[in-house]
Amino acid sequence: MTRTSAFLLTSLLACAAHADAPKLQPLPDIPPPPGVVDPALEPQITIRQHGGERVEEFRIRGHLYMIRVTPPHGHPYYLIDQRGDGAMHRFDELSPNFQVPMWVITEF
CATH of the domain at 93: 2.20.130.30
Instruction: Please state the rounded mean pLDDT for residues 53-81.
Output: 87
Structural domain includes residue 18:
no
Query: What predicted TM-score, i.e. pTM, was given to this entire model?
Result: 0.51
* Residue 19 in domain: no
**Domain assignment of residue 69, given as a range:** 30-108
What is the pLDDT averaged over residues 86-98?
A: 69
pLDDT at site 74: 79
> Stretch 91-95: mean pLDDT, rounded?
66
Torsions phi, psi for 98 (to 5 deg)? -65, 135
Which residues share a beta bridge with 55? Answer: 48, 69
SS3 state of residue 8: helix
Reported as a pLDDT band with limits 50, 70 and 90, residue 65 is confident
Question: What mean pLDDT comes out for the span 2-11?
Answer: 70
Question: Total structural domains in the chain?
Answer: 1
102 within some domain: yes
